[in-house]
Each structure stands twice: as structure tokens, then as C-alpha cells.
Amino acid sequence: MVAEALPLRSSPVVREWMKHWPLLVGFAVLAIPTVITLGQESWSRESGAHGPIVLATGAWLISRQTKSFRDLARPSSRLLTGVLLLAGLLLGVIGHAFDFVTFQAAGLYGVGLAMLYSVFGLPALLKNWFPLFYLGFCIPPPRWVIDQVTAPLKQFVSSVATGVLHAAGLPISREGVTIQVGAYQLLVEDACSGMNSLIGLTAISLFYIYLLRGASVRYAGVLTLLVIPIAIVGNILRIMVLILLTNYFGDQVAQGFAHFTAGIFLFGVSLLLVFLADNLLGRLLPKSWRASA
């Protein structure tokens, strides 16, 4: 005899969240246009490709912690709830009015925090801080921040990549972020600077640490510091691969499917290096560093 599947509404998680369905409906009204905008302006680009992954896994983490939220629930301040809601809505309105996706996403994030605070109170949010912090990676940084950070990174990675290949005998020269190899001229773009990989790698690494090690702030901080050089080294290798592809197979090959494939492959290599670093840290650091805060 085959057991009859339990209806979805019998799930404790679903029942818990359905108690607050008016809040969920209001949040959905705000979230849908913001998510559409994020999909069009951020998540469809390499710089924001981690966004949907963070959103899905972050929502799963919060649903997974529903019992913890419920057990730690305490009364909330109506004044603080109102301030948080007003700040989030104001950011969202400004973002929509001026087509500033960072403010739109930050406003939606603020409204979500206000709703969680209103329902569960501050102790529950502090105890389950990681999923809330992790979801903040869905907010794309302002363009001017990316430009300021990537400018020196582009100079550095292009200098190292061309220096190594020149020492290996490749006919290559560099002026700023413009690289001349044979008859081809390449421009190191933001995608190759390391900033995009850094954000995505940091988010995925923190998610991995939380599931495997727990919410240890000190341990997460140490491994995150290691993510920075790993992301930069990965992008140096990426630039070197693209230069070699351009030199030996032409610009059409290097800037076509191979460009995307090299990015995905080297991101995977960087992620494996993060896992290796985690394994080494797990052996070297004392247990007190790996315990949840």
C-alpha cells in the first residue's frame, strides 16, 4: 500500500508562515517589481549572477530556522517597526523614482527586516543573524563603488598577467589596462578585475561555512580574508588564459564562448581553493574558533 502524500498545507513551516499571510502578500507586492528589475539590470550580468542563488538559498535558510524564530519570539516595538518600515519604503520609492536598483533592493531588504522584527522581535533576529546577513548579498553595490574598487584591481591583475606571460616569451605589452598581444589589443574589463568573483565567492563561501561549521563569526572572518587573494589569483589566471587564446586562436574565439567558459571554469577552480583553505583551517585552527558564536 502506497502512503498518501501529506498536503503541502500540513507542513509546520507552511502553517507558521501562513499565519502572517497579509504581511506576506504586502511584501510580495513590493518584491515582485524589484526582483524583475534586479533580473534585468543586475542578475543577467556576470557581476550579479550570484544574486538568484543567494536569494533562493537565503530564503531556504530562513524557512529552515522557522522553529528557532518561533521559539525565540518576543514582543517588538511598534515605534522601531514603523521606523524600519518607513526607511525601507523610502529607499524603495527613491530607487524606483530614479531607477537606482541598489536602493530598490536595499529598500525591499529593509522592509523584510521590519516585517521579521514585527513578528518575532529582536532576540530571534539576533540569534538567527546569518541568513539575514547573507541575504544582503542580493543587494548589488552601487556602480561608483565597483568602479572605485575595480580600478586598482584591474591595473594589478593585468600587470601580473602580462608580466608572467612576457617572462615566458610571449610578445606582449601593456599600457594601463590595455594589453597588446601580437596583432590584437585587449581591454581588461570589470568582469576580469576580481571584484565580481570576490562578491560571489564570498557569498557562497559564507553559505558553505554556515552549513558545515555553524555561525562562527571569527572563523568566517578568517576564511573570508583568504577568499580575497583566491579571487584575485583566479582572475589573473583568467586573463592569462584569454590572452593565450587570443594569441593562438584569434579574438573571435577568445571573446566568444571561450570567454564565458573560462570564467565559469576558473570560478569553479577558485571555489575548490576555498574548500581546500577551509579544510586546512579546520585542521590548523583550534575548535573554539570553529564553534558557533
11: burial class by Cβ within 10 Å (0-12, 13-18, 19+)? Answer: middle
Considering the domain architecture, whether residues 185 and 120 belong to the same structural domain is answered as no
Considering the domain architecture, whether residues 154 and 207 belong to the same structural domain is answered as yes
Does residue 3 sit within a domain? no
pLDDT tens-digit map of 147-192: 777 777 778 888 898 899 989 888 888 887 788 887 777 777 655 5
The backbone torsions φ and ψ at residue 175, rounded to the nearest 5 degrees and listed phi first, read -135, 105
User: Is 238 a residue of the active site?
Assistant: yes
Predicted confidence band of residue 194 (pLDDT cuts 50, 70, 90)? low
Which residue, 140, 166, 183, sits at the end of a domain?
Answer: 140
Considering the domain architecture, whether residues 225 and 281 belong to the same structural domain is answered as yes
CA atoms within 13 A on the CB side of 12: 7
Which residue, 91, 123, 140, sits at the end of a domain?
Answer: 140
242-245 — which CB contacts under 8 Å span 24+ positions? 242/186, 242/192, 243/161, 243/162, 243/165, 243/170, 243/172, 243/179, 243/181, 243/186, 244/165, 244/170
Answering whether pTM is above 0.85, one says: no
Considering the domain architecture, whether residues 30 and 111 belong to the same structural domain is answered as yes
Containing structural domain, residue 112: 11-140
Nearest to 136 by CA among 210, 202, 72: 202
Considering the domain architecture, whether residues 154 and 260 belong to the same structural domain is answered as yes
Does residue 4 sit within a domain? no
| Residue-by-residue DSSP string for 123-192 | HHHHHTHHHHHHHGGGSPPPHHHHHHHHHHHHHHHHHHHHHHHHHTT--EEEETTEEEETTEEEE--GGG
- Residue 214, sorted as left (phi over 0), alpha (psi -120 to 50) or beta, turns out to be left
Considering the domain architecture, whether residues 124 and 171 belong to the same structural domain is answered as no
Q: What percent of the chain has pLDDT over 90?
A: 20
Place of cell 553595490: 141
Tell me the three cell numbers of residue 118.
514585527
215-246 in b/e form (b: 16+ CB < 10 A) is bbeebbebbbebbeebbbbbbbbbbbbbbbbb
Reduce the DSSP state of residue 256 to 3 states and report it: coil
> Which of the following is catalytic: 138, 174, 213, 238?
238
Considering the domain architecture, whether residues 178 and 230 belong to the same structural domain is answered as yes
> Which of the following is catalytic: 70, 192, 283, 290?
192
Does residue 1 sit within a domain? no
User: Is 283 a residue of the active site?
Assistant: no
Considering the domain architecture, whether residues 151 and 283 belong to the same structural domain is answered as yes
Range with top average pLDDT, 39-48, 105-114, 227-236, 265-274 = 105-114
pLDDT tens-digit map of 211-238: 876 656 777 788 888 888 888 888 888 8
Considering the domain architecture, whether residues 112 and 167 belong to the same structural domain is answered as no
Does residue 103 sit within a domain? yes
Does residue 261 sit within a domain? yes
Which residue, 105, 140, 175, sits at the end of a domain?
Answer: 140
Does residue 6 sit within a domain? no
Place of cell 538559498: 57
Q: Identify whether the C-beta of residue 169 lies closer than 8 Å to the C-beta of residue 176.
A: no
Provide the number of structural domains found in the chain.
Answer: 2
Does residue 175 sit within a domain? yes
Considering the domain architecture, whether residues 118 and 167 belong to the same structural domain is answered as no
Place of cell 583566491: 230
Longest dimension (CA), the chain: 74
pLDDT reported for residue 2:
41
pLDDT tens-digit map of 8-21: 445 565 666 666 67
Considering the domain architecture, whether residues 49 and 155 belong to the same structural domain is answered as no
Considering the domain architecture, whether residues 202 and 251 belong to the same structural domain is answered as yes
Single-letter amino acid code for the residue at 156 = F
